[in-house]
Amino acid sequence: MTRLLIPLLLAANVIYFILAFLLGDATYTPPATIVKGIPAIELLNNKKSKDEPTKNSRCYTLGPFNSEKATKMVARQLNDFGLSINIRRQKTMDTLNYLVYLPAQNTRQDALKIIDDLKKNDVKNYQLIESGPYENAISFGFFDDLNKARRHSEYIRYLGYDSRYTEQKAVQEIFWLDYDEQANVSAPVLQWSHTIDPSSIVQKIPRWCDF
């Protein structure tokens, strides 16, 4: 009888330990992750994900605008869209047009003689300059397009006269808008710009962000 009892006790102990091992993990309660009075530690990965929207910003320059008023109107649209902007001014030397002319002649009579000859060759637009540093020169007008100015000058030269053309330049102030937006948001800035100021040829140019 004793011999049978010993194997039964051993088997019972083995079964107990097996059950204790299997059921022990299921009933285990982990310690609290946050202890009252001690601030939680913020993981670096979590902090990086919170800052990600700023680093995902894209920066642009919009312009150039010929009018300060139009620039401010587009800036207001960007502000209403929730974007911060910066307006920059820039002065440039711009070509206004091209003047086609004959250099000053020795006398007024010489200039009038040339004009009479040009009339015979269907040259209609001309003006004798009667005073100032270009007295007795002949102007054939201003051209917005360089190719047109060149062709007209070549025609006058074809008729035997030393026609020339020159750029008429002036200082002009233009305006730029710097702004940044999130990668998943795109404001229709080119549409706004064209609607507000059709005369300006505006471009959206990527730029290096300041942050």
Per-residue pLDDT tens digits for 13-24: 666 666 565 555
Looking at the predicted structure, is the pLDDT value of residue 8 above 70? no
Question: What fold, for 95-168?
Answer: Alpha-Beta Plaits (3.30.70)
Q: How far apart are CA 204 and CA 193, in angstroms?
A: 10
Q: How far apart are CA 149 and CA 137, in angstroms?
A: 17
pTM over 0.75: no
The 10 Å Cβ neighbour count of residue 177 is 24
Mean pLDDT, rounded, for 9-35: 58
Angle between helices 189-196 and 68-80 (to 10 degrees): 140
Q: How far apart are the first and last CA of the chain?
A: 87
The winner for highest mean pLDDT among 50-54, 116-120, 207-211 is 116-120
Q: How far apart are CA 118 and CA 156, in angstroms?
A: 8
